[in-house]
Amino acid sequence: VCQLGIDGEILLWNKAMERITGISSEAMLGSSFHAMAEPWRKAFEPILHGRQALVQRREVRDHLGQHRWLCLHRATGDNNNPCNGLFMVEDITDAQRFEHELLHNERLASIGRLAAGVAHEIGNPVTGISCLAQNLLDEGESEDTRASAQDILSQTDRITRTVQTLVDFSHAGPGDARLNLSSCPLAERVDEAIHLLSLGGQSEEMEYDNLCDHELTVLADAQQLLQVFINLLSNARDACDGHGVVSVSAHRDDHDIVIRVEDNGTGISRDLQAQIFEPFVTTKDVGSGTGLGLALVYSMVNDMRGSIGVTSPIYNEGAPGTRFSIRLPQG
């Protein structure tokens, strides 16, 4: 709660306001509202002096650089008339985040059902085309015919990989019966993901640093956790254009393990960060990705009772870089 005098002097600044803004009551009491530090003055001013609704929602970036959602209530007096100088601030960040995650999961579920149907409809004719192309390759008499058949097989293989991604995405979701949660050594899963990526021959000039303590374990599905790391590390490699440094670190936080996958690549724009876990959203060139990788990662982490977020940029100089933070229960 905050109350102002007629001249704008701050008369009341309670403990809740201290927690929300990070500004002590000693610093605020007796000072002028117009001298209040940003972003708080700009956030609070419209509801005090404007003719807008008595209840407003506002998004601000707090003193720690975190996005916060606030619900502002202007007090009313007799006949429901606004009371100048008195307002309440409610931090609804957790509720807003929960609502966003709920809507996101509903979208993923509906798109997953659509993906399953699309994969089935595409998969059958592609299999037929692939078989015919293989016959042409085996029995074709001219070199041109065999070359064309090989081109067809290459393209059908690409379609098959995309269809398999759709199938994997449609199978990921809450309550997946195939999920096998157990205590997983974190460093081992990271090492395995790095090893598998190195087999592809595209990581020769990349530096992967596994900084995870070998004693740390998480409660997770071992195969899904491996897939999460493969997706994140391959995305980081692509962001660095094959020439960069990717590190994976982890630490305990109460009963959870927080894992950070960081790269020194091109970064992700702030506008795109809000959509990065949505299906078919990608920063890659057309034809270079399906846009389902991070949506699949989000679903798998969510299935394992965890959460994932993204921060970019993470460096002030040079390449901006990106950090993906995963929180999973301790194993």
Domain at 255, CATH number: 3.30.565.10
Per the domain annotation, does 260 fall within a domain?
A: yes
**pLDDT of amino acid 119:** 74
Q: Of 123, 93, 111, 107, which Cα lies nearest the Cα of 20?
A: 93
- In this prediction, residue 50 carries a pLDDT of 57
Does one domain contain both 48 and 167?
no
Same domain, 70 and 161: no
Same domain, 81 and 154: no
pLDDT score at 208: 93
Q: Cα separation of 301 and 286, whole Å? A: 27
24 lies in some domain: yes
Give me the amino acid identity at 164. Answer: Q
CA pair distance 203, 245, nearest whole angstrom: 11
Q: Which helix (H) or strand (E) holds 196?
A: helix 186-199
Q: Are strands 217-221 and 322-329 parallel, antiparallel or unpaired?
A: unpaired
302 Cβ contact partners less than 8 Å away, ≥ 6 residues apart: 101, 105, 174, 308
In a domain, 267, yes or no: yes
Are the C-beta atoms of residues 83 and 73 closer than 8 Å to each other? no
> Is 176 part of a structural domain of the chain?
no
- Same domain for 260 and 310: yes
* Residue that is last in its domain, among 68, 91, 114: 91
Same domain for 228 and 310?
Answer: yes
Q: Which residue among 32, 66, 91 closes a domain?
A: 91
Longest dimension (CA), the chain: 95
Q: Which two tokens stand for residue 161?
A: 């990989």
Rounded Cα gap, residues 46 and 58, in angstroms: 11
What does the alpha-carbon distance between residue 246 and residue 209 come to, in Å, rounded to a whole number? 6
Query: Are both 185 and 305 inside the same structural domain?
Result: yes
pLDDT values of the chain reduced to their tens digit, one per residue, 331 residues: 887 777 778 888 888 888 888 888 888 888 888 778 888 878 777 766 655 556 677 778 776 667 788 888 777 655 544 455 677 888 888 888 777 777 766 766 676 677 677 777 788 888 889 898 888 888 877 888 888 888 898 888 878 877 776 666 666 554 455 678 999 999 999 998 898 888 766 656 789 999 999 999 999 988 889 889 988 998 899 888 878 899 999 999 989 999 999 999 888 888 888 788 887 666 665 545 556 678 888 888 988 999 999 998 888 777 788 999 999 999 8
Cα–Cα distance measured from residue 205 to residue 225, given in angstroms and rounded to the nearest whole number? 25
What tokens does 94 get?
């957790």
Q: Quick one: how far is CA 188 from the chain centroid? A: 24
In this structure, are residues 186 and 217 in contact, taking their beta carbons and an 8 Å threshold? Answer: yes
- Do 61 and 28 sit in the same domain of this protein? yes
pLDDT at 296: 82
Indicate which CATH number applies to the domain containing 33: 3.30.450.20
Q: How many domains does the chain have?
A: 3
Name 13's bridge partners: 2
Start-to-end C-alpha separation, the chain: 42
Q: Which residue has the tokens 């609804």?
A: 92
User: Phi and psi (nearest 5°) for 63?
Assistant: -65, -15
> Contact 197/237 with Cβ under 8 angstroms?
yes
Same domain? For 125 and 69 the reply is no
In a domain, 264, yes or no: yes
* 151 and 187 share one domain: no
User: Which positions ≥6 away from 97 have C-beta within 8 Å?
Assistant: none
Do 80 and 108 belong together in one domain?
no
Position 284 scores a pLDDT of 61
Answer yes or no: do 87 and 100 share one domain: no
Point out the domain boundary residue: 49, 71, 91: 91
Q: Are residues 237 and 280 in the same domain?
A: yes
pLDDT of residue 82: 47
Q: Which domain holds residue 107?
A: 96-171
Distance between CA atoms of residues 304 and 185, nearest Å: 15
Place of tokens 């740390």: 216
